[in-house]
Chain A
């Protein structure tokens, strides 16, 4: 490297590191900090950490059913995203290979789905009539559709890049359709699958109207509804809220941190293929 290049690069590297730290880390660290403060300390000096106490965690844990709600959220978002991506794949392959008539209109119809509003009222009526209202499985089924269009969009592009010869070779060897998808298509479309999965999962995770409109029993609530209710009934108890946030977020962030390295590595080996 020429020395003239090295310096500004280093400086901008540090600047971006700081930007990341300040913008992304500080707000979260702040919430963690106050989770360990007494409410009194928080009121008197909100900017400094106090002598750490654990009382907030007890309050938060007793004040809301966070554990169960967290489990619910994970079940809902992971299963719905999994089914969405799977169905997306089953739709995308025939479209990408033009195995059926009317491929283009079908594809266009599916892409429109990216912009479809989440129609709560009709969905509620549908859920009630089909026995999907206030039901774990039902809630998952109702949340599959929003994740599908992006899965189809990304997968069609990725599958189109897989050479047709691979299909033919597999056909010759007598591999079944699902077998072929599992062994060849899924490994080669991994980045698309992962992004579509994440997007679908976040949709369920971030839904705030679904839990209100489609669920009635508090034992079925996801954590978004639980924590919002908790805030509503303890609205100035910031230290308790901080603790609740830590309880809910810690497992998810740890899981994410552990898996993202895997994801990145998997992607790297997955794409080396021609």
Chain B
């Protein structure tokens, strides 16, 4: 037992905590990874550059992140809840529906991104033909009005299946005897949903909200494939990636500063959210859990 625990914690510390700590350290340097440039400690310079407008992107990044995180977290979970309710059954159609909904997960971020780029290709894509019937012409992922809503759509499309799975497993964990007892007591279907299903689903709600929150906060891969963070879609997660690797002035020290800020911001939002959700769980499930 001790060995197993020690091994697990060692792996976690070595490949999780240590790199993050080094990353935080790098954020105080002007490291560029270029072999001829020397690396020096620069104090808080990267952070001041970020918070002032000396380096562009941060203020806009905060707005983009708030919009993106809220829309994805709420949208993804509402859709998943609806789907889980419909697809939890044993029947053939429910099984087929589950496969369809889970498919984007199996495809992976890169392929999902490419499929949607194809659909919204401004020259030959089907969305363009469709919308041009209504007189709408746009470059979609290359347009400041469309890019953000579309990126949100793709992120939800890709991950709704995972949330649905979590909700389904939560729904299935509810003891059927409770429903039977409720039927005997003659409780209506709305009351059933409100008084039994919803409270007992609380642990799944916690997991799903938390994962959607953190996932959308730190996301860069899907956005990178779709827009590279252009046209108003540069969230802080995307900015951290771009600042370090994908710009003319690529600067790893600065990228590390954005990443570390993002980490702190995620903690500041996610920990109260987690405590709140836990508190809600305990309230809904009664004190004994």
Say if A and B assemble together. Answer: yes
User: Which residues of A pack against B, CB within 8 Å?
Assistant: 5, 13, 16-17, 20-21, 23-25, 27-28, 30-31, 34, 42-43, 46-47, 87-88, 90-91, 93-94, 99-100, 106, 109-117, 119-123, 125-126, 141-142, 144-146, 148-150, 153-154, 157, 161, 177-178, 191, 194-195, 198-199, 202, 205-209, 223-224, 227-228, 231, 238, 241-242, 245, 248-249, 252-253, 255-257, 260-261, 264, 267-268, 271
Given pairs A20-B100, A206-B221, 8 additional interface contacts (CB within 8 A): A25-B103, A28-B115, A46-B129, A111-B274, A117-B259, A141-B15, A245-B111, A264-B168
Query: Is B20 a contact of A148 with CB atoms below 8 Å?
Result: no
Query: Is B8 a contact of A195 with CB atoms below 8 Å?
Result: no
Tell me the bound Cα distance from A119 to B258 in angstroms: 12
- Among candidates B22, B103, B224, B274, residue contacting A256 with C-beta atoms closer than 8 Å: B103
Smallest Cβ distance from A170 to chain B, in angstroms? 13
Query: Is A17 a contact of B97 with CB atoms below 8 Å?
Result: yes
Find chain B residues with CB under 8 A from A43 CB.
Answer: 124
Query: Is A208 a contact of B224 with CB atoms below 8 Å?
Result: yes
Query: Is A16 a contact of B82 with CB atoms below 8 Å?
Result: yes
Tell me the bound Cα distance from A21 to B282 in angstroms: 37
Find chain B residues with CB under 8 A from A87 CB.
Answer: 4, 7-8, 11-12
- Among candidates B101, B119, B165, residue contacting A195 with C-beta atoms closer than 8 Å: B165
Tell me the bound Cα distance from A205 to B112 in angstroms: 12
Taking A126-B15, A198-B165, A206-B108 as contacts, is the C-beta distance between A117 and B263 under 8 angstroms?
yes
> Does residue B5 face the partner (Cβ distance < 8 Å to A)?
yes
Smallest Cβ distance from B167 to chain A, in angstroms? 11
Smallest Cβ distance from A172 to chain B, in angstroms? 17
**By DSSP majority rule, is chain B's interface helix, strand, loop, or mixed?**
helix
Find chain A residues with CB under 8 A from B114 CB.
Answer: 227, 231, 241, 245
> Does residue B107 face the partner (Cβ distance < 8 Å to A)?
yes
Query: Is A16 a contact of B23 with CB atoms below 8 Å?
Result: no
Question: Which listed segment binds A: B44-52, B135-143, B203-211?
Answer: B203-211
> Does residue B83 face the partner (Cβ distance < 8 Å to A)?
yes
Tell me the bound Cα distance from A235 to B33 in angstroms: 30
Tell me the bound Cα distance from A202 to B102 in angstroms: 12
Query: Is A117 a contact of B103 with CB atoms below 8 Å?
Result: no
- Among candidates B106, B126, B157, residue contacting A23 with C-beta atoms closer than 8 Å: B157
Most interface-central of A34, A99, A119, A153 (chain B CB within 10 A): A119
Smallest Cβ distance from B35 to chain A, in angstroms? 14
Find chain A residues with CB under 8 A from B165 CB.
Answer: 195, 198
Query: Interface residues of B, CB < 8 Å — how many?
Result: 86
Taking A16-B82, A27-B119, A253-B106 as contacts, is the C-beta distance between A113 and B210 under 8 angstroms?
no
Most interface-central of A117, A199, A242, A264 (chain B CB within 10 A): A117
Taking A20-B83, A116-B263, A241-B114 as contacts, is the C-beta distance between A253 and B103 under 8 angstroms?
yes
Tell me the bound Cα distance from A252 to B172 in angstroms: 25
User: Which residues of B pack against A, CB within 8 Å?
Assistant: 1, 4-5, 7-9, 11-12, 14-20, 22-23, 26, 31, 33, 82-83, 86, 93, 95, 97-111, 114-116, 118-119, 121, 124-126, 129, 157, 161-162, 165-166, 168-169, 172-173, 189, 203, 207, 210-211, 214, 217-218, 220-221, 224-225, 240-241, 244-245, 252, 256, 259-260, 262-263, 266-267, 270, 274, 289
Taking A116-B20, A144-B11, A271-B172 as contacts, is the C-beta distance between A150 and B211 under 8 angstroms?
yes
Q: Closest residue to A100 on the B side, CB-wise?
A: B5
Smallest Cβ distance from B217 to chain A, in angstroms? 8
Tell me the bound Cα distance from A18 to B56 in angstroms: 44
Query: Is A119 a contact of B22 with CB atoms below 8 Å?
Result: yes
Q: Closest residue to B9 on the A side, CB-wise?
A: A91
Query: Is B102 a contact of A256 with CB atoms below 8 Å?
Result: yes
Tell me the bound Cα distance from A260 to B82 in angstroms: 19
Q: Closest residue to B93 on the A side, CB-wise?
A: A17
Tell me the bound Cα distance from A33 to B172 in angstroms: 36
Smallest Cβ distance from A47 to chain B, in angstroms? 5
Find chain A residues with CB under 8 A from B18 CB.
Answer: 122, 126
- Among candidates A23, A115, A199, residue contacting B162 with C-beta atoms closer than 8 Å: A199
Q: Closest residue to A271 on the B side, CB-wise?
A: B173
Q: Closest residue to B241 on the A side, CB-wise?
A: A209
Tell me the bound Cα distance from A106 to B103 in angstroms: 36
